[in-house]
């Protein structure tokens, strides 16, 4: 049985010192075991954010347009500051879970002499899926938004994988990283594949799958209290790159809408939302870390086209790459570029499976051959 604090009364002790005495009421201990998360009345407040609250997560969002920075990425309608949501799986699988806010409230309510530390290991953190619209399922961990997925199956698969990961004794949040698996952007926990950002996901968000993967990794790291990766750090890990001593300088411009959907010099279809660049002579698939000398912002881009042909410009960035270094408005900026070199093999599904089993993946399958 637990005690519920009542109204304080003032009495006088023999020592003439004023002391507060509380009336108490007995109540069942199951009061502390109520499933506080299973309340449809509070769903909108728990898993919805006002525009101001959403802006707090912008540090993990890379390369948005100026008018899109403060937009609601989920596309959900906001009514009076709260967007409508429904919980796909409302209850936590761990019956002992108690939200930090409730624990702090009870601690203050009962006036415990010693502060209580929340006994919440990573295994006790619930992974929940919130359904906002027909094609928008949000995956939340520790009251933090991790990812937006277009269908329920993908969201539930990610929920299950995250739950198993959190229950694993080998979990190391510092090993959460982005990668390319079979050329597809993915979220990795060490050598374990968590989620591949398929083209359907990138198309739904109308953004680069590479950027989405890095952002979701950072969201997951933040939910587990691990520092986020910078854009260049995330790209370097994803592509398996390191800087070389070779550097370039000059003026960089960017090209977009008119060329979007047209064929590039290496045969690809130009996508202004992918991290690519045109150069007159560098080999195709060369990676460059381009730094805007005016803003100090950097991004890694891949050569897949030829140009520019307007002197003295020497690089033509994609639109999203220009946004990443904040040169979209200026148009032409001075840059410093570092040629990157491969320092790790490519990941394949078969290679990842071999690594999970502790075996060495064959070099002919795993080593990048673009350089």
Q: Is 256 helix (H, G, I), strand (E, B) or coil?
A: coil
Residue 127 in tokens: 């992974």
Instruction: Report, as ranges of residue numbers, the positions in the chain whose pLDDT lies below 50.
Output: 1, 3, 11, 13, 19, 21-44, 50-58, 67-82, 90-99, 102-103, 106-107, 110-120, 352-359, 361, 363-371
CA distance 314 to 263: 20
Give CA angle at 129 (128, 135), nearest 5°.
Answer: 170
CA distance 264 to 136: 33
CA distance 338 to 3: 66
CA distance 328 to 322: 5
Residue 8: its pLDDT value, please? 56
Residues in the chain, overall count: 371
Topology adopted by domain 241-342: Barwin-like endoglucanases (2.40.40)
Whether 164 and 157 have beta carbons less than 8 Å apart is answered as no
Residue 54: its pLDDT value, please? 45
Whether 12 and 18 have beta carbons less than 8 Å apart is answered as yes
CA distance 338 to 323: 19
CA distance 69 to 3: 49
Q: Which residues pair with 3 in a beta bridge?
A: 26
Q: What is the pTM of this model?
A: 0.71
| CA 348 centroid distance within chain | 22
- Looking up tokens 């075991």 gives 33
Residue 14: its pLDDT value, please? 52
Nearest to 84 by CA among 153, 145, 134: 134
Residue 267 in tokens: 């045969």
212-267: pLDDT as tens digits: 999 999 999 999 999 999 999 999 999 999 999 999 999 999 999 899 999 999 99
Residue ranges matching CATH 2.40.40.10 in the chain: 241-342
Whether 346 and 367 have beta carbons less than 8 Å apart is answered as yes
């Amino acid at each position: 049985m637990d005690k519920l604090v009542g109204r304080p009364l003032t009495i006088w002790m023999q020592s003439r010192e004023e002391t507060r005495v509380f009336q108490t009421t007995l109540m069942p201990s199951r009061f502390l075991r109520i499933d506080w998360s299973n309340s449809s009345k509070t769903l909108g407040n728990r898993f919805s954010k006002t525009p101001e609250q959403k802006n707090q997560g912008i540090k993990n969002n890379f390369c948005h347009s100026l008018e899109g920075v403060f937009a609601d990425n989920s596309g959900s309608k906001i009514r009076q500051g709260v967007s409508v949501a429904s919980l796909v799986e409302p209850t936590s699988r761990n019956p002992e879970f108690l939200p930090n806010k409730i624990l702090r409230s009870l601690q203050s309510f009962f006036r415990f002499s010693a502060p209580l530390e929340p006994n919440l290991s990573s295994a006790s953190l619930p992974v929940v899926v919130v359904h906002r619209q027909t094609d928008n399922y949000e995956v939340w961990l520790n009251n933090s938004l991790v990812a937006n997925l277009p269908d329920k199956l993908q969201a539930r698969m990610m929920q299950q994988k995250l739950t198993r990961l959190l229950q694993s004794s080998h979990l190391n949040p510092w090993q959460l990283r982005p990668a390319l698996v079979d050329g597809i952007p993915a979220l990795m926990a060490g050598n374990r594949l968590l989620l591949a950002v398929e083209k359907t996901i990138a198309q739904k968000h109308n953004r680069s799958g590479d950027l989405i993967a890095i952002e979701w990794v950072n969201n997951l790291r933040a939910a587990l209290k691990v520092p986020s990766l910078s854009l260049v750090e995330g790209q370097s890990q994803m592509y398996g790159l390191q800087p070389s001593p070779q550097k370039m300088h000059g003026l960089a411009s960017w090209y977009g809408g008119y060329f979007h959907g047209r064929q590039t010099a290496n045969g690809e279809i130009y996508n202004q939302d992918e991290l690519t660049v045109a150069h007159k002579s560098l080999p195709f698939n060369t990676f460059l870390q381009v730094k805007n000398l005016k803003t100090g912002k950097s991004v890694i881009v891949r050569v897949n086209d030829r140009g520019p042909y307007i002197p003295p410009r020497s690089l033509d960035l994609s639109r999203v790459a220009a946004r990443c270094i904040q040169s979209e408005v200026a148009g032409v900026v001075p840059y410093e570029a570092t040629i990157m070199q491969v320092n790790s093999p490519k990941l394949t599904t078969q290679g990842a499976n071999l690594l999970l089993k502790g075996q060495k993946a064959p070099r002919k399958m795993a080593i990048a051959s673009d350089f």
